[in-house]
Amino acid sequence: MEIWNPWHGCRNNWHIHHATKGGGQMLICIGGRGWYQEKGKDAVELTPGTVVNIPANVKHWHGAAKDSWFSHLALEIAGENASTEWCEPVSDKEYSALSKNNYSLLTKRSAG
Protein backbone atom coordinates (compact mmCIF):
# COMPACT_ATOMS: atom_id res chain seq x y z
CA MET A 1 0.00 0.00 0.00
CA GLU A 2 1.17 3.49 -0.78
CA ILE A 3 -0.24 6.84 0.33
CA TRP A 4 0.41 9.34 -2.41
CA ASN A 5 -0.18 13.09 -1.95
CA PRO A 6 0.43 14.90 -5.25
CA TRP A 7 0.03 18.66 -5.42
CA HIS A 8 -1.89 20.67 -8.04
CA GLY A 9 -1.36 19.23 -11.51
CA CYS A 10 0.99 16.44 -10.40
CA ARG A 11 0.36 13.08 -12.07
CA ASN A 12 2.20 9.83 -12.59
CA ASN A 13 3.08 8.30 -15.96
CA TRP A 14 0.87 5.90 -17.83
CA HIS A 15 1.51 2.49 -16.32
CA ILE A 16 0.31 -1.11 -16.31
CA HIS A 17 0.09 -3.55 -13.42
CA HIS A 18 0.69 -6.85 -15.20
CA ALA A 19 -0.36 -10.26 -13.88
CA THR A 20 -1.17 -13.63 -15.44
CA LYS A 21 -3.78 -14.28 -12.74
CA GLY A 22 -5.32 -11.88 -10.20
CA GLY A 23 -3.42 -8.64 -9.77
CA GLY A 24 -4.37 -5.06 -10.58
CA GLN A 25 -4.66 -2.04 -8.34
CA MET A 26 -7.22 -0.32 -6.12
CA LEU A 27 -7.32 3.45 -5.58
CA ILE A 28 -9.15 5.05 -2.66
CA CYS A 29 -9.38 8.84 -2.68
CA ILE A 30 -9.05 10.20 0.86
CA GLY A 31 -8.74 13.94 0.23
CA GLY A 32 -8.66 16.70 -2.34
CA ARG A 33 -9.62 16.09 -5.97
CA GLY A 34 -7.88 14.06 -8.64
CA TRP A 35 -8.20 12.04 -11.83
CA TYR A 36 -8.00 8.41 -12.94
CA GLN A 37 -7.97 7.49 -16.63
CA GLU A 38 -7.67 4.27 -18.59
CA LYS A 39 -6.09 4.53 -22.03
CA GLY A 40 -8.77 5.22 -24.63
CA LYS A 41 -11.48 6.03 -22.06
CA ASP A 42 -12.83 9.17 -20.40
CA ALA A 43 -11.17 10.31 -17.20
CA VAL A 44 -12.89 9.72 -13.86
CA GLU A 45 -12.91 12.49 -11.26
CA LEU A 46 -11.75 11.28 -7.85
CA THR A 47 -13.14 12.88 -4.69
CA PRO A 48 -13.03 11.68 -1.07
CA GLY A 49 -14.67 8.26 -0.83
CA THR A 50 -14.24 7.31 -4.50
CA VAL A 51 -12.91 3.77 -4.96
CA VAL A 52 -11.51 2.58 -8.30
CA ASN A 53 -10.79 -1.09 -8.97
CA ILE A 54 -8.29 -1.44 -11.82
CA PRO A 55 -8.00 -4.90 -13.39
CA ALA A 56 -4.57 -6.28 -14.22
CA ASN A 57 -3.08 -5.39 -17.60
CA VAL A 58 -4.97 -2.08 -17.97
CA LYS A 59 -2.89 0.96 -19.00
CA HIS A 60 -3.84 3.93 -16.80
CA TRP A 61 -2.67 6.97 -14.84
CA HIS A 62 -3.82 8.90 -11.77
CA GLY A 63 -2.98 12.23 -10.21
CA ALA A 64 -4.15 15.59 -8.87
CA ALA A 65 -6.56 17.99 -10.53
CA LYS A 66 -5.05 21.24 -11.87
CA ASP A 67 -6.60 23.25 -9.06
CA SER A 68 -6.44 20.87 -6.08
CA TRP A 69 -4.14 18.81 -3.94
CA PHE A 70 -4.99 15.11 -3.93
CA SER A 71 -4.44 12.29 -1.46
CA HIS A 72 -5.20 8.64 -2.14
CA LEU A 73 -4.32 5.11 -1.13
CA ALA A 74 -2.89 3.00 -3.95
CA LEU A 75 -3.13 -0.71 -3.18
CA GLU A 76 -1.46 -3.24 -5.44
CA ILE A 77 -3.56 -6.41 -5.65
CA ALA A 78 -1.62 -9.67 -5.30
CA GLY A 79 -1.34 -11.73 -8.45
CA GLU A 80 0.73 -14.35 -10.20
CA ASN A 81 3.74 -13.11 -12.17
CA ALA A 82 2.87 -9.56 -11.12
CA SER A 83 4.96 -6.59 -12.24
CA THR A 84 4.50 -2.90 -12.98
CA GLU A 85 5.45 -1.40 -16.32
CA TRP A 86 6.05 2.36 -16.32
CA CYS A 87 5.26 3.91 -19.69
CA GLU A 88 5.30 7.39 -21.24
CA PRO A 89 4.32 10.53 -19.31
CA VAL A 90 0.76 11.82 -19.51
CA SER A 91 1.29 14.68 -21.93
CA ASP A 92 0.34 18.25 -21.07
CA LYS A 93 -2.05 18.09 -24.05
CA GLU A 94 -3.81 14.99 -22.64
CA TYR A 95 -3.96 16.48 -19.15
CA SER A 96 -5.15 19.90 -20.33
CA ALA A 97 -7.96 18.26 -22.33
CA LEU A 98 -9.69 17.13 -19.13
CA SER A 99 -12.93 19.07 -18.88
CA LYS A 100 -16.53 18.76 -17.79
CA ASN A 101 -17.24 17.22 -21.21
CA ASN A 102 -14.90 14.23 -21.03
CA TYR A 103 -14.95 12.80 -17.56
CA SER A 104 -17.22 10.69 -15.43
CA LEU A 105 -18.22 11.72 -11.90
CA LEU A 106 -18.17 8.68 -9.65
CA THR A 107 -18.21 10.27 -6.21
CA LYS A 108 -18.41 7.87 -3.25
CA ARG A 109 -19.02 4.75 -5.31
CA SER A 110 -16.85 2.23 -7.09
CA ALA A 111 -15.48 2.77 -10.56
CA GLY A 112 -14.11 0.07 -12.78
107 in a domain, yes or no? Answer: no
Domain that holds residue 61: 2-97
Per-residue pLDDT of the chain (112 residues), as tens digits, is: 555 555 677 889 999 999 999 999 999 999 999 999 999 998 999 999 999 999 999 999 999 998 888 999 999 999 999 999 999 999 988 888 885 444 544 433 344 5
How many domains is the chain partitioned into structurally? 1
Spatial separation of the C-alpha atoms in residues 45 and 35, rounded to whole Å? 5
Rg (CA), the chain: 13
18 in a domain, yes or no? Answer: yes
* pTM reported for the whole predicted model: 0.83
30 in a domain, yes or no? Answer: yes
> 28: domain CATH number?
2.60.120.10
**Contact between 100 and 45 (Cβ < 8 Å):** no
